[in-house]
């Protein structure tokens, strides 16, 4: 019923449920060169051990290599994350570990046709930004090639076969939020609707691929030294497209994980600000990085770079303190040129010093806005002025 290249080696994720037991049976009929069964016992339900023993029994009877990861129940006491995400991560990290141990990169997973359509309906319901509708026949996770050979088979066909052949399998009794939504969708979805949905999914994926390509082109064409330029074209795009552009931009600079780890509305908030805010400067905190809009540029700065620092240099002996700032040499030279009339103030806290200092015979604040000095320069570079005269001595901008 399924086609597996018997010259290849495979890992297979087996929960003990109907789908994965069915897949395992089909796979061994194809006699692959090497097969390693991987099972995670989450110890989450009272009947978790039954699932494990079903897998163990099947593997013993068929002489298969079985690797089991048993989760320590103490984990659950301090769990802050969403269980679905956490358990998926743990499972996939276990598969990665086994792929290294056995030097096997192919991983078989037992999602079926119903799972594919249900995933799509959940995506629609959640209106989440996705890069693919439904489930892919082949995808990647780190070094793993994840293969889903059952996407053409309905759940009822799988159950019918197992029941006819009297095969034991486990029944999943968990009911997390996502499972709840999935179960609701599942109970309303009829077998005769599946193919219609598959057609819709196929068409939507074609349009989505075009959108993703457009977003990639924008990001790639407007990227200079890790900064994304926002040009006129961006105003013509809708919020969703701008969200995609931000994802593509982060991918290009190898920082995509910072948004992946966050709730979907973070990228939505960023896209809305890009579209609607007329401010020259704003920032969105993303953990240890901050995404900054600076006139027509978007870029990331690490939170460490955003530290505001002001200090007073009272004498020659304190000049070494300048080294805290990236433009320390510039500051040092300015003090020398000014013939060391201590005390000096050194600061990168531009929101404060711009109000009470002068540059080029202007209030610094006015100079900044007239010359459109990028905020990056204001944030990263410090200025130096005599404590009494308040005239900035180094070059700014
Ligand atoms: N405890 C487990 N041990 C090993 N493999 C598992 C386990 N749970 C799930 N799998 C594998 O993952 C497939 C999908 O499982 P399930 O439908 O429960 O998860 P999902 O949340 O829908 O999927 P995913 O998290 O992988 O997107 C199973 O058919 C099986 O191949």
Residue range 225-278, pLDDT digits in tens: 999 999 999 999 999 999 999 999 999 999 988 887 666 689 999 999 999 998
pLDDT of residue 73: 79
Q: Closest ligand 1 atom, CA of 38?
A: 4
- Ligand 1 centroid – CA 87 distance (Å): 9
Listed in sequence order, the residues at least 6 apart from 109 whose beta carbon sits closer than 8 Å to its beta carbon are 12, 13, 146, 147, 148
Asked if residue 331 has its Cβ within 6 Å of ligand 1, the reply is no
CA angle 350, 351, 352 (to 5 degrees): 90
Q: Does ligand 1 have an atom closer than 6 angstroms to the CB of 39?
A: yes
Domains annotated for the chain, with CATH where assigned, are 9-189 (3.40.50.620), 209-305 (no CATH), 310-386 (no CATH)
Q: pLDDT-derived band of residue 122, with 50, 70 and 90 as boundaries?
A: very high
> What's the CA gap between 119 and 130, in Å, rounded?
11
pLDDT digits (tens, 9 = 90+) for 41-66: 998 777 789 999 999 999 999 999 99
Atom of ligand 1 nearest to the CA of 41: 1
Q: Which pLDDT value is given to residue 176?
A: 62
This model of the complex carries an ipTM of: 0.95
Q: What is the whole-number distance in angstroms between the Cα of residue 180 and the centre of ligand 1?
A: 16
224-233: per-residue pLDDT in tens? Answer: 999 999 999 9
Residue 199 Cα distances to 120, 181, 186, 206, 213, angstroms: 12, 23, 19, 11, 22
pLDDT tens, position by position, 179-225: 788 889 999 999 999 999 999 999 999 999 999 999 999 999 999 99
Nearest to 64 by CA among 91, 103, 38, 101: 38
Q: Would you give the distance in Å from CA 179 to the centre of its chain?
A: 22
The DSSP secondary-structure symbol of 72 reads: -
Q: How confident is residue 174, by pLDDT bands cut at 50, 70 and 90?
A: low
> What is the percent of the chain with per-residue pLDDT over 90, rounded to a whole number?
83
Would you say 296 and 281 are in contact if contact means Cβ atoms under 8 Å apart?
A: no
> How far does the centroid of ligand 1 lie from the alpha carbon of residue 39, in Å?
10
Quick one: angle between helices 155-164 and 113-126, nearest 10? 150
pLDDT, mean of residues 143-151? 97
Question: In angstroms, what is the span from residue 92 Cα to ligand 1's centroid?
Answer: 10
Does residue 129 line the site of ligand 1, with CB under 6 A? no
């Amino acid at each position: 019923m399924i086609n597996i290249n018997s010259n290849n080696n495979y890992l297979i994720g087996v929960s003990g449920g109907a789908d994965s037991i069915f897949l395992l049976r089909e796979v061994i009929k194809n006699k692959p060169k090497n097969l390693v069964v991987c099972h995670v016992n989450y110890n989450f339900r009272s009947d978790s051990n039954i699932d494990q023993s079903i897998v163990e029994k099947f593997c013993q009877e068929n002489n298969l290599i079985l690797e089991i990861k048993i989760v320590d129940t103490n984990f659950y006491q301090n769990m802050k994350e969403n269980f679905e995400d956490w358990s998926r991560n743990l499972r996939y990290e276990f598969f990665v570990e086994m792929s290294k141990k056995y030097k096997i990169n192919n991983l078989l997973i037992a999602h079926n046709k119903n799972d594919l359509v249900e995933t799509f309906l959940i995506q629609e319901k959640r209106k989440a930004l996705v890069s693919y509708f439904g489930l892919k026949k082949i995808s990647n996770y780190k070094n793993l090639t994840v293969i889903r050979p059952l996407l053409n088979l309905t759940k009822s066909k799988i159950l019918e076969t197992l029941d006819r052949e009297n095969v034991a399998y486990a029944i999943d009794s968990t009911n997390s939020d996502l499972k709840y939504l999935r179960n609701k969708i599942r109970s309303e979805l009829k077998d005769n609707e599946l193919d219609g949905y598959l057609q819709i999914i196929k068409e939507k994926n074609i349009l989505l691929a075009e959108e993703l390509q457009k977003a990639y082109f924008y990001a790639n064409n407007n990227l200079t030294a890790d900064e994304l330029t926002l040009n006129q074209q961006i105003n013509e795009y809708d919020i969703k497209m701008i969200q995609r552009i931000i994802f593509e931009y982060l991918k290009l600079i190898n920082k995509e994980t910072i948004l992946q780890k966050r709730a979907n509305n973070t990228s939505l908030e960023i896209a809305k600000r890009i579209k609607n805010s007329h401010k020259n400067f704003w920032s969105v905190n993303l953990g240890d990085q901050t995404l900054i809009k600076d006139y027509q540029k978007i870029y990331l700065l690490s939170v460490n770079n955003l530290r505001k620092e002001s200090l007073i240099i009272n004498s020659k002996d304190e000049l070494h303190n300048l080294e805290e700032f990236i433009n320390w040499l510039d500051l040092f030279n300015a003090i020398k040129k000014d013939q060391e009339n201590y005390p000096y103030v050194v600061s990168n806290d531009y929101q404060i010093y711009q109000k009470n200092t002068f540059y080029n015979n202007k209030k610094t604040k006015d100079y900044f806005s007239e010359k459109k000095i990028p905020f990056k320069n204001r944030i990263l570079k410090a200025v130096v002025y005599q404590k009494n005269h308040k005239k900035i001595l180094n070059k700014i901008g």
